[in-house]
Structure 1
Amino acid sequence: MNEYRIMIVDDEPDILNLLEKALNIEGFYHIIKIDNGITAVNICEQNQLDIIILDIMLPGIDGYEVCKRIRQFSHCPILFLSSKNDELDKLLGLAVGGDDYVTKPFSPKEVAYRVKAQLRRAEYKNTPMKNQSMKIGQLMIDTQGCRVTKGEKEIELTAREFEILNYMAENIGRVISRERLYETIWGEDSFGCDNTIMVHIRHLREKIEDNPAIPEYIITMKGLGYKLVNPYEK
């Protein structure tokens, strides 16, 4: 049994109970169920929570306002629930500080998996960097400055590419599945993630490999995922 503390905020008792049951099945038992925004803010201020599942349509103050108030003192992940499937509503939810957005009607299991993904991402972000820099073959990864050099040349990576490479470097030699990569870096469930990961890995190889067609650093483990290796330590 894990010790994560989860608060669910929704004014529909059936949804509160449905989500609690789905989370229990996945091993989450420290659940706080709240039916209004004001109480949710107060509870969050008085307790150390790991993630909040927050409905947008609430009595009193809505979920957007709840999120804004919570963000004044807490950075725990917030997953919005909404009956609206409008792109602007999703963008507003992210703009006020939300981390993910699920539209009703939803699969309780999907919500539970999204919760898991957000918790993994939060844990990864909060893990202190073991080293300020890591040398792997000719690659030098500056974890503080978010810079990568190969020999004397600096390699220009996007933020996402750097996160992927840095995560693989912290797990050098270990096989990492596409699903694990996506859920850790993107903080979302991994349904249909294969193409996204493949594209980013291809771009990384184009930038760090001498010959991307015959990679020496990022190795594909067929049917399993990828691993980063030091080509000089084979």
Structure 2
Amino acid sequence: MKVVIIEDDPEIVEAVSLCFDLRWPDVEVLSANEGIAGLSLIEKESPDIVILDIGLPDIDGFEVCRRIRLFSDVPVIMLTVKDQEFDKVKGLELGADDYITKPFSHVELLARVKAVLRRSTMPQLEDEEQPFTVGKLRIDFASHEVRVDGEEVKLTPTEYSLLHFLARNAGRVIPHRVLLEKVWGSDYVDSTDYLKVYIQRLRAKLKDDPHDSKLIISERGVGYKLAKQA
């Protein structure tokens, strides 16, 4: 496994590196202390996961995350001393997969990393399973290809996992807590912000008007459902 840490505090870099070394002895940990250098490192090394600090000396972590998503769907965990809801939601909206606040324990960090890596492994289905089609949306489960109006849509692993679970239960309202547990894990069942942000991101990518949704339909206070194929 290869990890990129973008963090300007050498003590934090050392602590995070040690966490990975203890859990995965063969891990390769690379680091950058500025955002631009970190972006170059990600492009060059294609890591399995990125640990990204928000407070960097050149460009902030939000901008780094936004730029990462222009060329990669690598899992990103944002690391910050801030504990404000706005920062958390902003990071998720820009494509981060998770968020952890300093100070943190190695147990908490590893739990978050393992959860993100689990989600980054797309569901494996039988090749002969029929594609799912509803309206302008088509999902090919065998190839994990998603198209809208014939054009391919690039989804992150977590976005695909959420869409996949909704599609496998199309026509059924899935409660918020069930979606959070199935896609993110049992530690996230109360993290409704994650679900809300990812639903917004999916709707945007699927060109599904949130004010008149034809694909991902909200049941206020209950959950979400994907329209059933005809």
TM-score computed with the length of structure 1 as normaliser: 0.59
For 1:73-112, what aligned pairs fall within 5 Å after superposition? 73-112=71-110
Correspondence for 2:56? 58
Correspondence for 1:15? 12
User: Could you say if the C-alpha distance between residues 143 and 32 of structure 1 is closer, same or farther in structure 2, counting changes exceeding 3 Å?
Assistant: same
Question: Deviation above 3 Å: which 4+ runs of structure 1?
Answer: 127-131, 142-145, 190-193
Q: Which runs of 5+ in 1 are unaligned?
A: 134-141, 149-153, 165-180, 197-234
Give aligned pairs, total: 159
Task: Give the AA of the match of 1:73.
Answer: F
User: Could you say if the C-alpha distance between residues 192 and 58 of structure 1 is closer, same or farther in structure 2, counting changes exceeding 3 Å?
Assistant: closer
Q: Does 1:124 align with 2:122?
A: yes
- 1:102 and 1:185 map into 2 onto residues whose CA distance is 18
Task: Give the AA of the match of 1:106.
Answer: F
Correspondence for 1:232? none
Are 1:54 and 1:81, in contact at CA under 8 Å, matched by a contact in 2?
Answer: yes
- 1:13 and 1:78 map into 2 onto residues whose CA distance is 19
Correspondence for 1:138? none
- 2:60 and 2:94 map into 1 onto residues whose CA distance is 12
1:119-144 CA distance string (max 9 Å, x none): 1110135x4654425xxxxxxxx985
Task: Give the AA of the match of 1:16.
Answer: V
User: Could you say if the C-alpha distance between residues 129 and 94 of structure 1 is closer, same or farther in structure 2, counting changes exceeding 3 Å?
Assistant: farther
Q: Tell me the SS of whatever aligns to 2:122.
A: helix
- 1:97 and 1:115 map into 2 onto residues whose CA distance is 16
Correspondence for 2:173? 157
- 2:94 and 2:36 map into 1 onto residues whose CA distance is 17
- 1:60 and 1:88 map into 2 onto residues whose CA distance is 21
For 1:135-146, what aligned pairs fall within 5 Å after superposition? 144=141, 146=167
User: Could you say if the C-alpha distance between residues 192 and 158 of structure 1 is closer, same or farther in structure 2, counting changes exceeding 3 Å?
Assistant: closer
Alpha-carbon offset, residue 192 of structure 1: 7.8
For 1:26-41, what aligned pairs fall within 5 Å after superposition? 26-27=23-24, 29-41=27-39
User: Could you say if the C-alpha distance between residues 158 and 191 of structure 1 is closer, same or farther in structure 2, counting changes exceeding 3 Å?
Assistant: closer
Q: If you compute each CA radius of gyration, which structure gives the higher value, 1 or 2?
A: 1
Alpha-carbon offset, residue 51 of structure 1: 0.8
1:179-203 CA distance string (max 9 Å, x none): xx94x621x5x4486x99xxxxxxx
Are 1:37 and 1:61, in contact at CA under 8 Å, matched by a contact in 2?
Answer: yes
Correspondence for 1:47? 45
Q: Which runs of 5+ in 2 are unaligned?
A: 131-138, 142-163, 192-230
Are 1:129 and 1:143, in contact at CA under 8 Å, matched by a contact in 2?
Answer: no
